[in-house]
Amino acid sequence: GLFLGRAAVAKLRVPKRYRHPALEERLSRRRTAQEARSLLRCRRAGIPAPAVYFVDYVTNSIYLEDIVDSITVQDHIYSVQQSGSDTSSLHNLAEKMGELLARMHDEDIIHGDLTTANLLLRPPVEKLDLVLIDFGLSFISGLPEDKGVDLYVLEKAFISTHPDTEMMFQALLKSYAATSKKSGPVIKKLDEVRLRGRKRSMIG
Amino acid sequence: MERRHRLELFPERSVALLLFQSVRNAAALRSKAVAGALEGALINPAMIVDPFQILVAANKAVHLHKIGKMKTRTLYSEIIFSLSPNNNISDAFKKFGISDTDTAVLIVLVVDSDKTINLESIASQVEGQQVSLDELPQLTDTARVKKMYKITPQEEKIGTLLDSVVCRMSTKDVL
């Protein structure tokens, strides 16, 4: 709704009753702090993410800028695939995504929950103006392993939510590699993580 | 002319903003405020980009006041402190509060929503001209704001100066 006259989103951390209360409090607090920290770090580095208006450490909720009239990349891919005007626009989108993630990783920001639902497109959609959201599981790390896992999570999300998008993800990775100077070890780790994943033979 | 805004999270409280130019008695106002004889936070408008910035500071101050976790001694000093991007209280007062030679003053009041405030009593103490909040952008010293909040060049591409400022204000205690 409106927060002090501006369009805002309130992220209220719903207490998970199945958790032990002490753990719940600590986890909530940590996630809220991590989210706030990552959002500030993104902003300083020029990585598009919502602005933080207010952090309430009592209820562990964050009040953020509402990216008005945006659509998720997930919804956008659905609609493009439905209408049939494929390859070129989605290819460009993938390139932009790769570029954005490379810049984020170069700042040692690990998103932690990369999915197409956590990437927004500002209107007008043709401009491919991306905004990253939902940094609740994010953390700071320089390790290629963590960055590789971040990309792996996105790859899995892509495959499971959007059929026939292997080419798109390839383009994303290519653009990632071209944008980030530290991408070599990250891609290497990604390959390793792929071999490690669920239902993968770890014999040997 | 003045602006009044209810705090959504604290509906029983409202914030009123009054802006004055050509102020001649900044020194007297400041000592009155320090002594507790003048109600309100006296802020240097040059450091303010938009009234939203003040509202965010006031919201945070009221929140901390309610839970008893203010860093400064009064609600009004807490509002001034909340404007600062760092945790140095005296620096905040120096940079965001008014100095004896200032000619423009922004007064912020926090009142109960259902009470009508006597703005006259405040305005009459200021030897200056009350102007509309619409004049605020002209009084903003953008260069000084950018320096104080340490705004990076990359940031300017992804959002407004106000976004950057408010971000730093709201996340300064997490770092």
Q: What is the mean pLDDT of chain A?
A: 92
Catalytic residue among A113, A129, A146, A191: A113
| CB atoms near residue B60 (< 10 Å) | 24
User: Would you mind telling me the total number of residues written for chain A in this entry?
Assistant: 204
Domain hosting residue B137, numbered range: 3-171
Terminal Cα-to-Cα distance of chain A (whole angstroms): 55
**What's the CA gap between B149 and A170, in Å, rounded?**
40
| Model pLDDT for residues A151-165, shown as the tens digit of each residue | 999 999 999 999 889
pLDDT recorded at residue A202: 66
Residue of A nearest to B61 (CA): A54
CATH 2.60.40.10 fits A71-199, yes or no: no
Those residues whose C-beta lies under 8 Å from the C-beta of residue A132, and which sit 6 or more positions away, are: A42, A47, A48, A49, A100, A104, A111, A118, A119, A120
Range scoring the smallest mean pLDDT among A148-162, B95-109, B113-127, B138-152? B113-127
Confidence of residue A88 (pLDDT cuts 50, 70, 90): confident
A191 is catalytic: no
**What's the CA gap between B95 and B81, in Å, rounded?**
10
Chain B hits for A36, CB-CB cut-off 8 Å, are 170-171, 174
pLDDT recorded at residue A85: 73
Q: A4–B8: do the CB atoms touch at under 8 Å?
A: yes
**What's the CA gap between A161 and A79, in Å, rounded?**
13
Chain B hits for A2, CB-CB cut-off 8 Å, are 8
pLDDT recorded at residue A91: 93
Q: How are beta strands A61-65 and B3-7 bridged, if at all? A: unpaired
Residue A61 has pLDDT above 90, yes or no: yes
Taking the C-alpha atoms of A142, A146, A92 and A124 in order, what is their torsion angle to the nearest 10 degrees? -80
Amino acid (one-letter) located at B6: R
Q: What is the mean pLDDT of chain B?
A: 93
Residue of A108, A115, A93, A85 whose CA lies nearest to A175: A93
The interface predicted TM-score of the complex, written ipTM, equals 0.93
| Model pLDDT for residues A19-51, shown as the tens digit of each residue | 898 888 899 999 999 999 999 999 999 999 999
- Specify the CATH number for the domain of residue B78: 3.30.2380.10
Pairwise pLDDT comparison (B39 vs A54), residue with the higher score: A54
Confidence of residue B38 (pLDDT cuts 50, 70, 90): confident
- Asked whether A69 and A116 are in contact (CB, 8 A), the reply is no
| Model pLDDT for residues A164-195, shown as the tens digit of each residue | 899 999 999 999 999 999 999 999 999 999 98
Q: How are beta strands B105-112 and A61-65 bridged, if at all? A: unpaired
Going from N- to C-terminal start, the domains of chain A cover: 2-65, 71-199
Helix (H, G, I), strand (E, B) or coil at A50: coil
The DSSP 8-state label assigned to residue A125 in this structure reads G
Residue B143 has pLDDT above 90, yes or no: yes
Those residues whose C-beta lies under 8 Å from the C-beta of residue B62, and which sit 6 or more positions away, are: B7, B10, B13, B75, B110
List the structure tokens of A157. Answer: 């999300």
Report in angstroms the alpha-carbon separations of A174 from A82, A157, A161: 26, 18, 21
Residue A1 has pLDDT above 80, yes or no: yes
Confidence of residue A201 (pLDDT cuts 50, 70, 90): low
List the structure tokens of A34. Answer: 């991590």
What topology is assigned to A2-65 in CATH?
A: Phosphorylase Kinase; domain 1 (3.30.200)
Residue of B57, B162, B58, B41 whose CA lies nearest to B105: B41
Confidence of residue A204 (pLDDT cuts 50, 70, 90): low
Residue B82 has pLDDT above 90, yes or no: yes
Q: B163–A65: do the CB atoms touch at under 8 Å?
A: yes
Q: A58–B157: do the CB atoms touch at under 8 Å?
A: no
| Model pLDDT for residues B95-105, shown as the tens digit of each residue | 999 999 999 99
Amino acid (one-letter) located at B148: M
Q: How are beta strands B3-7 and A119-121 bridged, if at all? A: unpaired
Q: What is the Cα A13 distance to its own chain's centre?
A: 19
Residue B73 has pLDDT above 90, yes or no: yes
pLDDT recorded at residue A17: 84
A71-199 shares the fold of A2-65 = no
Residue of A nearest to B85 (CA): A40
pLDDT recorded at residue B175: 65
Q: How many domains does chain B have?
A: 1
Q: What is the mean pLDDT of residues B6-33?
A: 93
Q: What is the pTM of this model?
A: 0.91
Q: How are beta strands B105-112 and B129-131 bridged, if at all? A: unpaired
